[in-house]
Amino acid sequence: MKHIEMVVFDWAGTTIDYGCIAPLDAFVSSFKEYGVDITPEEARAPMGMKKRDHVAAILGIERVVRIWQNKHGRFPDENDIEGIYTSFEKKICATLSSYCTPIPGVIETLEQLRDNGLKIGSTTGYTREMMDIVVPEAKKNGYHPDYLVTSSDVPAGRPYPYMIWSNAVALDVPDLQHIVKVGDTKADIAEGVSAGVWTVAIIEGSSIWALSKEETKALSPQNYHSRFSTCQNICMNAGAHYVIKDITKLPEILAIIDSQIELGKRA
């Protein structure tokens, strides 16, 4: 690489936790405690955001608001957001250690990137307390980026750029054009775009893909192609510069981006 110096990865759904299952289950269960059954699609829609913001976003969904009004006789308020978030926090912290397995291809790809001299940063919608559980478990499984910034370490989480910028400062990468953000949600993509860096979206294993490894393997070629095309369009419409099938395709995309920078192109 002549120009790219750092790749900043998301965590759940990008490098660990295929399908981004841990937060999904905790969100559905927490809303159920308040008498509101949300769908997996509603739980996933704001995925990648700071988790309290995620709760607020779900409570802004029209169907969820109607159910809440029917159940509680009023609109949800800040106290409700705080209550659901507190429940979510307890639930996810109790289960996070079980969702720290690297997604296939991650370990090998990161070794390849490091062999090419790239720095490995990371950002997440999880809080520092949550990542205190995730980081050591992921490291046991072979995944350990050079640096981590969580949503509770900065003034505001995604779509704001602060976590990426904090990685740039910590790992001494002054030119944002030499950074690539890799993620699996619309919030990830928005983070990369707002930070002014190159942004790559991963499909398989992502929250947008919304399937387990077993469910992915069971797809017919036709259904796989249809689902992939839908997810690809979502990511491109969100502003991703490139969309890839899985993380093993990242090195060749980085080479393309590096050549684009050589030609004077900017993110």
**Among all residues, which ones are annotated catalytic?**
10, 51
Determine the distance from the C-alpha atom of residue 81 to the mean position of all C-alpha atoms in its chain, rounded to a whole number: 22
**HSE, side-chain direction, 13 A CA sphere, residue 5:** 12
The secondary structure of residue 101, as a DSSP letter, is: P
Q: Which two tokens stand for residue 105?
A: 């291809």
Non-local (6+) Cβ contacts of 87 within 8 A are 29, 30, 33
Query: Could you give the CA distance from residue 4 to residue 168 in angstroms, rounded to a whole number?
Result: 12
Do the Cβ atoms of 75 and 65 come closer than 8 Å? yes
* Alpha-carbon dihedral angle through residues 159, 162, 168, 174, given to the nearest 10 degrees: 100
Do the Cβ atoms of 190 and 202 come closer than 8 Å? no
Any idea which residue has 């709760």 for tokens? 55
* Alpha-carbon dihedral angle through residues 70, 75, 80, 85, given to the nearest 10 degrees: 90
Query: Could you give the CA distance from residue 152 to residue 158 in angstroms, rounded to a whole number?
Result: 11
Query: Could you give the CA distance from residue 192 to residue 133 in angstroms, rounded to a whole number?
Result: 25
Any idea which residue has 């250690």 for tokens? 97
Do the Cβ atoms of 91 and 26 come closer than 8 Å? yes
Query: Could you give the CA distance from residue 260 to residue 267 in angstroms, rounded to a whole number?
Result: 9
